[in-house]
Amino acid sequence: MTSAEAATPAIAFVTLGCPKNTVDSEHMLGALVRDGFRTVADPSDADVAVINTCAFLQSAVRESKAAIGRLCELRRNRRLRGLIVTGCLAQRAGETLLEEFREVDAVLGTGQWREVVGAARHLLAGARDRIVRREDPGGALDAASPRALSTPRHIAYLKISEGCDHRCTFCIIPHLRGDQRSKPLDQLVREASELAALGVRELNLIGQDTTAWGTDLAGGLELADLLQALDQVEGLAWIRVQYTYPRLWSDRLIETWARARRVVPYVDMPLQHIAQDQLRAMARAMTERDTRALVARIRAGIPSVAFRTNFIVGFPGETAEHFQTLLRYIEEEPFENVVAFTYEREPETPSFAMTPRVPLNVRRSRRAALLARQQVLSRERLARRIGEQLTVMIDGPAGRGGNGALARAAGVGARHRSSRL
C-alpha cells in the first residue's frame, strides 16, 4: 500500500437482495468515491463498512442480520472504525438494530442513501453518537448522482422507477420503498446512452413495477414510450425488462415490445398464483380468466417470447384443489423459468392475520412438488430445441482452460450475484 492509499479512508460494501439494491449501492459508492474514499473488497481491510440490506421476507431479514453480525465481529476486533446499515432492513427495523447490534454506528433507511457520505465522515471523525435516519422511504433515483458500476462491464441495470402503488396483501414493498415514482424519460435516455458509451451491451430495466413507469408523470407517458426511446440508443444490443405487473400490460405495450429491435423477447411477470380465490385473497387485481388471457395475448403478440414468472405456494386459504389448479397451469402454459416461494407471514402485511393458515410442512412440500414438475417440463422443452441456432450474449470464459465461453440466449436473464460476506 502506498502512503497516499494509507492516508485515504477505505470503504467496503456488502450488498444483499435484488438488483434495485445493487443500483442503490452503486450510487452510494459513487458518492463516497467522489468524496475521496477508496474501495476495498474485503471489509477487514476497510475503515468503514456499509451493508445494504434486504428485508422483503423474514428469510431475507435473517440473512441480513447474520451478515450484520459478521461485520459486528470485525468492529469488535477493531478492524473497522465504523459500520453503517442501509437499505430495506434499516427502513423496516430502524432503532431496534442499534439495540440488537451494539457495534452498528448508523442506520440509514432506503430514502436516506444520500446521507451515507456524511455518516461515514462523521464516524471517521471519531463521533460517538449513533445515527438513525429513516424518515422517507425511497431509493436511488437521481440521474445526476455519481455511480460506480459493480456489474460485469457489458451488463448494467437501469432503475426506471421506485416504489409501488399496488397493495398486494403479502407484500411489504410500499412500506419499505414508498409509492410509485418514475424517473423522467429524458434522464433515462441520457443515462442509457452514457452506459452504452462505457461498453454496456445489455441494459436491464428495473423497478418495483416497471409497467407502471410513467403513470405519475405528466403527459400520459407509459412504458411503451420509454421502450421506443431506449430502442434508439446506439451501442446497446439487448434491452431486458424485469418486474412487470400483469394488470398494466396493454396491447400497445405488446406491439411495441415485438417491434423494438433491441428489446429482447423475454417477459418477467410475477403471477403469484392462478386459482381465482388465491388471486382475490392476494389482491392481485386480476382474475384467473384475465391472467390466462393476458399470457395468451403476450405469447401471440411477441414471437418466440420466453416467460419468467413467480408463484407463491401455501398462501392462507390455499387448498389442495387450489394447488392442483396451479400445477395444471404450469403443465398447460410452457413457462421457461418458474420461481416458487413458500409463503412467509410478514407482520406489517394484511395477510399476516389471514386464515386458515397452511402448515409449514405442507407449504414446503407444495413448493418442492411445483419445482420438481417444472424441472421435468423444462427438460422436455429444452430437449426439443436441440439443434436450433441462437444469438447469444457472451458473458465470459468457461472454466480455466480457456477453451469455451459462458453465453446466454435472449430468453435467459443475467445472473449477477449480490456480494455477501
* Tally of structural domains, the chain: 1
Residue 244 in grid coordinates: 412487470
46 assigned to some structural domain? yes
Q: What pLDDT digit, counting tens, does each position of 356-398 carry? A: 999 999 999 999 999 999 999 999 999 998 999 989 999 888 8
27 assigned to some structural domain? yes
Burial code (b: 16+ CB inside 10 Å, e: under 16) for 179-200 equals ebbbbebeebeebbbebbeeeb
- Rounded CA-CA distance 317/304 in Å is 36
Where does the pLDDT of residue 421 fall: very low under 50, low under 70, confident under 90, or very high at 90 and above?
very low
Q: Over 90: is that where the pLDDT of 350 sits?
A: yes
CATH of the domain at 13: 3.40.50.12160
- As a whole number of Å, the end-to-end CA separation of the chain is 23
33 assigned to some structural domain? yes
Q: What pLDDT digit, counting tens, does each position of 60-113 carry? A: 999 999 999 999 999 999 889 999 999 999 999 999 999 999 999 999 999 999
Please tell me whether residue 49 adopts helix, strand or coil conformation.
strand
294 assigned to some structural domain? no
If you ran DSSP here, which 8-state letter would residue 9 be given? P
69 assigned to some structural domain? yes
Q: How many CA atoms lie within 13 A of 200 on its CB side?
A: 23
Predicted model pTM:
0.94
- Rounded CA-CA distance 183/143 in Å is 8
Q: Over range 122-136, report the average pLDDT.
A: 92
Q: What phi and psi, each to the nearest 5 degrees, are found at residue 85?
A: -105, 125
11 assigned to some structural domain? yes
Are the C-beta atoms of residues 354 and 317 closer than 8 Å to each other? yes
Where does the pLDDT of residue 115 fall: very low under 50, low under 70, confident under 90, or very high at 90 and above?
very high
Residue 133 in grid coordinates: 435516519
Are the C-beta atoms of residues 240 and 205 closer than 8 Å to each other? yes
By residue range, what is the domain housing residue 34?
3-133
104 assigned to some structural domain? yes
**Higher local confidence (pLDDT), 402 or 73:** 73
303 assigned to some structural domain? no
